[in-house]
Amino acid sequence: MSIAQNISEIRNEIKPYGSKLIAVSKTHPAEAVREAFECGQVDFGENKVQEVQDKKPLLPSEIHWHLIGHLQSNKVKYIAPYVHLIHSVDSLRLLEEINKEGKKNNRIISCLLQVHIAQEETKFGADANDIRTWLADRALDAFQHVTIKGLMGMASFTSDEKIVRQEFRQLKNLFDESAKNYQANNTQWEEVCMGMSADYKLALDEGSTMIRIGSAIFGNRTYQT
C-alpha cells in the first residue's frame, strides 16, 4: 500500500470520531513527508529536535511540526520559533524553558502535558498525581507564553487490549478532571492525544481527539546505527 492509500484509509476510519491525524515521520526521509503532504496531510510528528531541524528546510513551510518525543530543556530554543505543538511536556522545568523561549520569539507555544500511563518504566511522562499537584497549586499560571491544550499519553506495549483500554481511559478521565478543575487564561482543554499504529482504534473508542500514526502510514522504521 502507498502512503496515499494508507492515509486515506486511516482518515476514513477516524472521520466518525472527528479526531485529528498526526503523521509520525521520524526516521523517514523528507520525500516521504512530501508525499503525505501532497495528500493534504499538514500535521507531522517528529521525536528528535535534530531530525525535524534537518527535514524542515527541505519541505513546504505550511507544514505543522509536532514535537512528540522526549525534549531536553537545552534544545527548546531550536524549535521554539516554529513548533506547532509540543506533546511531551513532562516537567515544570521544561515548561518554564518553553515559556522563556516563547517570550523570546514573541510567540505563545501550544503544549500537551505528557502523562505516564503505561506499566513500563521506560515510557516518559509525568505521573498523574504530579499533574494533579501542578494544577492544584496553580503552578502553570505563571507561564503566559504557553497554552496548555490538553494531555498526551502512550499505552503499554502489550497485546492485552484490556490493559491498553484501561490506560487510555485513565488518561481521558484525568483530562476531564483537569478541564473541570483548572481553567486559566493559558489553558484550552481540547486534546486527548493518544493512540499509535497498533492501538489507535482502542484510543478512538476511549475518546482520543488526536492520534499519532507512524508505521501504519510510512511502513516500518529502519534505524541507522
Ligand X SMILES: *Cc1c(COP(=O)(O)O)cnc(C)c1O
Q: Which residues bind ligand X (CB under 6 A)?
A: 24, 26, 47, 68-69, 154, 196-198, 212-216
- In the complex, minimum distance from the CB of residue 163 to ligand X, in angstroms, rounded to a whole number: 17
Of 2 and 133, which CB lies nearer to ligand X in the complex structure? 2
- In the complex, minimum distance from the CB of residue 214 to ligand X, in angstroms, rounded to a whole number: 3
- In the complex, minimum distance from the CB of residue 140 to ligand X, in angstroms, rounded to a whole number: 22
d(CA 197, CA 211): 9
**Residues in contact with 108: Cβ distance below 8 Å, sequence separation at least 6, in sequence order:** 102, 144, 145, 146, 147, 186
- In the complex, minimum distance from the CB of residue 58 to ligand X, in angstroms, rounded to a whole number: 20
Of 72 and 185, which CB lies nearer to ligand X in the complex structure? 72
Of 103 and 201, which CB lies nearer to ligand X in the complex structure? 201
d(CA 31, CA 36): 9
Of 90 and 182, which CB lies nearer to ligand X in the complex structure? 90
Nearest to 218 by CA among 70, 86, 46, 72: 46
In the bound complex, which residue of the shown chain has the CB atom lying closest to ligand X?
214
Of 24 and 117, which CB lies nearer to ligand X in the complex structure? 24
| Beta bridge mates, 114 | 152
d(CA 92, CA 148): 12
Q: How far is residue 139 CA from its own chain's centroid?
A: 22
**Residues in contact with 138: Cβ distance below 8 Å, sequence separation at least 6, in sequence order:** 182, 184
**Residues in contact with 201: Cβ distance below 8 Å, sequence separation at least 6, in sequence order:** 13, 195
Asked if residue 153 lies in contact with residue 171, where contact means CB atoms within 8 angstroms, the answer is yes
- In the complex, minimum distance from the CB of residue 146 to ligand X, in angstroms, rounded to a whole number: 19
Q: Where are the beta strands (DSSP E) in 20-84?
A: 20-24, 43-46, 64-67
Of 88 and 145, which CB lies nearer to ligand X in the complex structure? 88
- In the complex, minimum distance from the CB of residue 27 to ligand X, in angstroms, rounded to a whole number: 8
